[in-house]
Amino acid sequence: MEEKLKVGVITSTHGIRGEVKVFPTTDDSRRFRRLKEILLYDGRKEHRLEIEGVKFFKNLVILKFKGIDSINDVEEYRGCGLYVTRANAVRLRADEYFVADLIGMEGFLEDGSRFGTLQDVIETGANDVYAFDTERYGEVLVPAIKDCIVQVDVEAGKMVLHLLPGLVEEESI
């Protein structure tokens, strides 16, 4: 499991007083209101920044960091990722998982046979869809619903699947 979770990416500066526009990569952008600090990775090193102000504009979050008061001070951070530690991550309910914990997970069918590796989580309006890379079927998209996802063990990096009819070609099974 990763110790830091990505919550956004700085897209550009905002105004001249050191504010930045952030594209959130978290389900709930309002979570930025509860954060006191954030970790910025500039490609070379990690910077721990204290959040002084939070505003919202369309689908973006506008952040002001303590001690950064000029556009010149934040210009170099364009495109940088913003992270939180697991201690500052949102609390998950039952059957909720961080995408970072799911990517790379091994999928197994109910009979114990290996199915494939989870490569991507696609967010749709109704439910997430898990994209598995399999040797036998190529890429298989599995809806993240209780009928298909039997068990998830984040610690072991394993997921048990039930394949509904139509998810893979019947003659291939």
Q: Is residue 19 part of a domain?
A: yes
Can you give the pLDDT at residue 172? 45
Range of the domain at 42: 4-88
CA distance 138 to 156: 24
The rounded distance, in Å, linking the Cα atoms of 96 and 42 is 30
Q: Is residue 27 part of a domain?
A: yes
pLDDT(74) > 70: yes
Length of the chain (residues) = 173
Against a cut of 0.75, is the pTM above it? no
How confident is the model over 5-57, as pLDDT tens digits?
899 999 999 999 999 999 998 878 888 998 999 999 988 889 999 999 999 99
For position 170, what pLDDT does the model report?
A: 59
Residue 161 lies in a domain: yes
Read off the tokens for 87: 């201690």
- Whether residue 162 is contained in a domain is answered as yes
Last residue of a domain, one of 88, 109, 128: 88
- Enter the tokens of residue 63: 């952040």
**Boundary-marking domain end, from 60, 88, 116:** 88
Q: What is the side-by-side strand order in the sheet with 129-134?
A: 138-143, 129-134, 114-122, 106-109, 158-161, 149-153
The 8-class DSSP code of residue 112 comes to S
User: Does 36 lie in the same domain as 14?
Assistant: yes
Answer yes or no: do 77 and 23 share one domain. Answer: yes
Is residue 107 located within the same domain as residue 148? yes
Q: Which residues contact 134 (CB under 8 A, 6 or more apart)?
A: 115, 116, 140
In a domain, 173, yes or no: no
Tell whether 151 and 123 lie within a shared domain.
Answer: yes
Q: List, for residues 119-139, the tens digit of each pLDDT value.
A: 999 988 788 999 999 999 999
CATH assignment at residue 46: 2.40.30.60
In a domain, 21, yes or no: yes
Please give the tally of structural domains in the chain: 2
Task: Report the mean per-residue pLDDT for the chain.
Answer: 90
Domain containing 150 — which CATH number?
A: 2.30.30.240
End-to-end CA distance of the chain: 32
Which of helix, strand or coil describes residue 164? Answer: coil
Question: 108 in a domain, yes or no?
Answer: yes
pLDDT at 94: 82
Task: Answer yes or no: is 94 within a domain.
Answer: no
Contact 137, 172 (CB under 8 A): yes
| Residues near 45 by beta carbon (within 8 Å), at least 6 away in sequence | none
